[in-house]
A and B are shown apart, each in its own frame.
Chain A
Amino acid sequence: MSLGRYVLTRIAVAVPVLLGVTVLTFSFIHALPGDPIDALVGFRSVSPATEASIRAEYHLDRPIWEQYLLWLRDVLVLEFGESPITGRNVMATVGRRLPATLALGGAAWLLALAIGVPTGIVAAVRHGGPADELSRIAALAGIATPNFWLGLVLLLLFGVRLGWVRVIPPDAPLASLAMAKFMLLPTITLGTASAAFVTRLLRSSMLAELDATYVRTARAKGLRERTVILKHVLRNAFLPVVTITGLQLAFLIDGAVVVERIFSWPGMGRLLVRSILQRDYPVIQAGVLLIGVSIVLANLLVDIVYAVLDPRIRY
Chain B
Amino acid sequence: MALLEVDDLVVQFYTDDGVVRAVDGISYEIRAGETVGLVGESGAGKSVASLALLRLLRSPGEIVRGEIRFDGRDLRECSAAELRELRGNDIAMVFQDADAALNPVYTVGEQIAEAIRAHEPVTDREARERAIDLLERVGIADATARYSDYPHEFSGGMQQRAVIAMALSCDPALLICDEPTTGLDVTVQAGILELLADLARESETAIQLVTHDLGVVAELCDRVLVQYAGEIVERAPVEDLFYDPKHPYTAGLLASIPRLGDDRPRLATVPGTMPSLVDPPTGCRFHPRCPFAEDACARRNPSLVEAESGSPAVDAGPDTHLAACLEYTGDLVGGLDYEVRVRDESEDVADDPCRERKPESRRGDTR
Contact = CB atoms under 8 A, between A and B. Distances in A.
Contacts of B205: none
The secondary-structure label for the interface of chain A is: helix
A267 B264 CA distance: 83
Interface residues of A, number: 23
Residue of B85, B86, B97, B150 with highest tally of chain A CB at under 10 A:
B150
A221 B87 contact: yes
Interface string A204-215: 000000011110
A290 to B, nearest CB: 35
A106 to B, nearest CB: 27
B102 A310 contact: no
B84 A213 contact: no
Interface in A208-233: 211-214, 216-225, 227, 232
Given A213-B95, A216-B95, A311-B150, A221 B101 contact: no
A235 interface: yes
Contact of B88 (A214, A221, A227): A221
Given A220-B88, A221-B166, A222-B87, A214 B102 contact: yes
Interface in B47-78: 51, 54, 56, 58
Nearest to B116: A221
A236 interface: yes
A194 B216 CA distance: 54
B104 A220 contact: no
Contacts of A212: 100
Given A212-B100, A214-B100, A224 B84 contact: yes
Residue of B51, B86, B103, B106 with highest tally of chain A CB at under 10 A:
B103
Interface string A172-213: 000000000000000000000000000000000000000111
Contacts, number: 77
Contacts of A225: 80
B114 A223 contact: yes
A220 B97 contact: no
Contact of A222 (B88, B95, B97, B104): B88
Interface in B84-116: 84-89, 92-93, 95, 97, 100-106, 111, 114-115
Given A219-B87, A220-B56, A220-B87, A312 B115 contact: no
Contact of B101 (A211, A217, A224, A310): A217
A310 B150 CA distance: 10
A19 interface: no
Nearest to A224: B84
A213 B97 contact: yes
A244 B51 CA distance: 36
B118 interface: yes
Residue of B86, B92, B106 with highest tally of chain A CB at under 10 A:
B106
B336 to A, nearest CB: 40
Contacts of B152: 311-312, 315
A312 B85 CA distance: 32
B146 interface: no
A165 B88 CA distance: 56
A309 interface: yes
A309 B119 CA distance: 26
Given A217-B163, A220-B92, A235 B105 contact: yes
B119 A222 contact: yes
Nearest to B176: A220
Contacts of A217: 93, 95, 101-103, 111, 163, 166
Interface residues of B, number: 31
Nearest to A315: B152
Given A224-B84, A235-B105, A312-B104, A219 B56 contact: yes
Interface in B274-319: none
Nearest to A239: B105
A202 B101 CA distance: 22
Contacts of B102: 214, 217
B62 to A, nearest CB: 15
Residue of A216, A218, A222, A310 with highest tally of chain B CB at under 10 A:
A222
A312 B152 CA distance: 7
Contact of B54 (A213, A220, A235): A220
Nearest to B99: A213
B16 to A, nearest CB: 15
B46 to A, nearest CB: 16
Nearest to B51: A216
Nearest to A223: B118
B114 A236 contact: no
A251 B93 CA distance: 47
Contacts of B85: 222
A213 B95 CA distance: 8
Contacts of B86: 222
Interface string A46-84: 000000000000000000000000000000000000000
Given A222-B115, A223-B114, A213 B100 contact: yes
Interface in B158-172: 163, 166
Contacts of B103: 214, 217-218, 232, 236
Contacts of B118: 221-224, 227
6 contacts: A216-B95, A221-B88, A223-B84, A223-B115, A227-B118, A309-B105
Interface of B: 51, 54, 56, 58, 80, 84-89, 92-93, 95, 97, 100-106, 111, 114-115, 118-119, 150, 152, 163, 166
* Shortest Cβ-Cβ A-B pairs, 7 listed: A222-B88, A222-B87, A213-B100, A221-B88, A214-B103, A221-B115, A220-B93
